[in-house]
A and B are shown apart, each in its own frame.
Chain A
Amino acid sequence: MKVFAVRGKFENKFGESIMSDKPEYFIDENGLRLDGRRTDEIRPMTMEMGVLSRADGSCYLEWGNNKVIAAVYGPRELHPRRLQRPSEVLVRYRYNMAAFSVEDRIRPGPSRRSTEISKVSGEAFEPVVMTQYYPGAVIDVFAEVLQADAGTRTAAINAATLALADAGIPMKGLVAACAVGKVDGQLVLDLNKPEDNYGDADLPVAMTQDGEITLLQMDGNLTHEEFIKAMEMVKKGCDQIFELQRKTLISRFGSEDDVEALEGSIETEPEEEEAEELSEEEVPSEKEDVSDTGDNAEDVDDSGEKFKEDVADFDEQRESGSDEEDKTSDEDVKDEEDEASDEDVKGEEDEQ
């Protein structure tokens, strides 16, 4: 298919030796890359949530030939104590490559590379996780790379976001990650393996839905103009990933193999899609969405009520957890409730 000019054993930028062939060119006359993508196109990505029964949240992700599984445990108790943060939760992220995930086996256990990636990836989530909700505790995120094919750290972050959502961790938004690089003097989105190995630059970025950058690394060489363009491209890449993440989340309870759950959620499905469209296309006119739902309110069942009680319960948790100011006023109410409850308990006992 392609003419290969160089052949032999190389080292990639992590010092890992690789047997590979450097292609003569990366982008053909039609502007397409070796794998047939346009320069601004990401590789196909699929995600599946809730794949590990022991974890509080999990997600398996395939992106190109990357295969990554992420799990979240917590919030849970943090040991050793000296790591505890008195007023917030610690987000502890562990990026790990399976020994067999790359050409040359890597020794199990942390390396300097994986330690750095773990650190910056964890920090990519700190701005979105509501850390003040669980003071002194830890949220553990484990990202295991089962098969590596360029862009593993970004793949891991994309999986970790959904695992966090699956675990019920409060977050201001999702995080998506994607890299831009340079080959043949052109910027390309989401590097594949040869582009990663022989390219002139690599710029992995993670960001929130409103464009806050939470991870940024770069190596290689980019001009100022190229960098500006690269950031635009990476934003578009992340937008595509957000869309895939959102679809995965929304469809989860529609595609459950649990037939009974499916039956229960059928009635809600059309509305969900409606809401989806509204929120993505008409952010400024979200009011329409609200009034829309108001109109439909008459013909819906009691499900709104049903969730009220959940919330009542949840309110209570939140009060002690975070809203310090509201606490006093709510406290009174709770005390009243409580007295009532004590009375009723006595009543029941009398009946006995």
Chain B
Amino acid sequence: MSSEVVSRLKKDYIYNLMLKGQREDGRQFDEARDIVIETNVVDKAEGSANVQIGDTRVMVGIKVQIGSPFPDTPDKGVIITSMELNPIASPDFEAGPPRPKAIEMARVVDRGIRESGAIDLSKLCITKGEEVWIIFIDVHVLNNGGNLLDAASLGSIAALMTTTIPYEREGRGEDIRMPIREMPIGISLIDVGGELFIDPTYSEEAICDTRLTITSNQDGSICAMQKSGAGSLSEAQVLKAVETALERAAVIREKHLLNI
């Protein structure tokens, strides 16, 4: 599709600005766009969140159902994370089964939730080896204004925090809140000319080679990382990126998650 080709003039403009540490929308390299989170936006879901980061908009819905545990974890609930780059969200997205880009993002979101131990999966066992709660995290991308991964990560934890385990619906007693123990937040940075930029727009993403996503916990520990793209990063850059991501995650947690 023709929209995939970005004109060299535009690329050059954005690139040259970024070399000076400036950005197309007037932000600083370490300045993020405003975030708006609404929770419980879908009654039919057991938990949900609508996240806007600038123009980017994703909706995350959590469905909870009874199913069988994995054989190697008979007493633990199951998390299944899906993300689709819906054609509604961008002229570049096409209908069809998820492509590598979408699968990678879903898996990075999933790792953040899983590895941080955000959900106490042992509390989601109904009958050991037979019935456990299965948590479906579905990320529905509505508008790609860039930095979908951070929006998906933030939307997922926000939606999980509002989720109810529907014991009553299944006739098995009283509903409980999702057993949340941690608030992992993924922060992505892109590298342009050696400088790291936080919260990229889609045109900034189009000119960068490398993205690094760092998912961190409340205590400042790291639970998941992913380098993505064809470029490379220096050790100093990675260390700097971690520092920035930890700071930014703490700010978002404080401002947007603790009041959910």
Contact = CB atoms under 8 A, between A and B. Distances in A.
Interface of A: 19, 52-55, 65, 67, 69, 71, 73, 76-77, 79, 94, 96, 98-105, 108-110, 140, 142, 144, 146-149
A149 B44 CA distance: 9
Contact of A105 (B41, B138, B144, B169): B138
A152 B89 CA distance: 20
Which 7 residue pairs of A and B lie closest in terms of their CB atoms, listed nearest first? A100-B61, A105-B63, A100-B45, A142-B88, A99-B138, A53-B55, A52-B143
Contacts of B87: 73, 94, 140, 142
Which of A73, A79, A108 is packed against the most chain B CB atoms within 10 Å?
A: A108
Interface string B97-124: 1000000000000000000000000000
Given A101-B42, A104-B65, 5 more contacts: A52-B143, A76-B3, A98-B61, A100-B63, A108-B82
Nearest to B95: A94
B229 interface: no
Contacts of B57: 52
A94 B89 CA distance: 13
Contacts of A71: 88
Interface of B: 1-3, 41-45, 48, 55, 57, 59, 61-63, 65, 82, 84, 86-91, 95, 97, 136, 138, 140, 142-145, 169
Contacts of A149: 44
Contacts of B65: 104-105
Which of A98, A146, A149 is packed against the most chain B CB atoms within 10 Å?
A: A98
- Secondary structure class of chain B's binding surface, majority of residues: mixed
A53 B145 contact: yes
Contact of B61 (A99, A103, A110, A140): A99
A144 B86 contact: yes
Contacts of A99: 61, 63, 82, 136, 138, 140
A76 B93 CA distance: 14
B62 A100 contact: yes
Contacts of B82: 99, 108
B44 A101 contact: yes
Contacts of B145: 53-54
Contacts, number: 92
Nearest to B62: A100
- Secondary structure class of chain A's binding surface, majority of residues: loop
A77 B45 CA distance: 37
B63 A96 contact: no
A73 B91 contact: yes
A58 B142 CA distance: 11
A167 to B, nearest CB: 12
22 contacts: A52-B143, A53-B143, A65-B43, A69-B88, A71-B88, A76-B91, A94-B95, A98-B42, A98-B138, A98-B140, A99-B61, A99-B136, A99-B138, A100-B63, A100-B136, A103-B44, A105-B138, A108-B82, A108-B84, A142-B88, A144-B140, A149-B44
Nearest to B2: A77
A54 B144 contact: yes
A54 B90 contact: yes
Contacts of A100: 42, 44-45, 48, 61-63, 136, 138, 140
A330 B116 CA distance: 69
A105 B61 CA distance: 10
Which of A53, A94, A99, A147 is packed against the most chain B CB atoms within 10 Å?
A: A99
A102 B44 contact: yes
Contacts of B63: 99-100, 104-105
Nearest to A72: B88
B91 A54 contact: yes
A102 B42 CA distance: 9
Contacts of A105: 63, 65, 136, 138
Given A53-B143, A77-B1, A99-B63, A147 B44 contact: yes
Nearest to A103: B44
Contacts of B169: 19
Contact of A67 (B42, B62, B90): B42
A101 B61 contact: yes
Given A79-B1, A101-B61, A108-B138, A55 B44 contact: no
A147 B43 contact: yes
Nearest to B64: A105
Contacts of B84: 108-109
Nearest to A147: B42
Contact of B140 (A102, A104, A146): A146
Nearest to B171: A19
B39 to A, nearest CB: 13
A67 B61 CA distance: 13
A349 B91 CA distance: 40
Contact of B42 (A73, A109, A146): A146
B137 to A, nearest CB: 9
Contacts of A140: 87
A148 B97 CA distance: 23
A146 B1 CA distance: 27
Nearest to B88: A142
Contacts of A73: 87, 91
Nearest to A106: B63
B9 to A, nearest CB: 21
A110 B96 CA distance: 9
Given A77-B1, A101-B42, A108-B138, A142 B86 contact: yes
Contacts of B61: 98-101
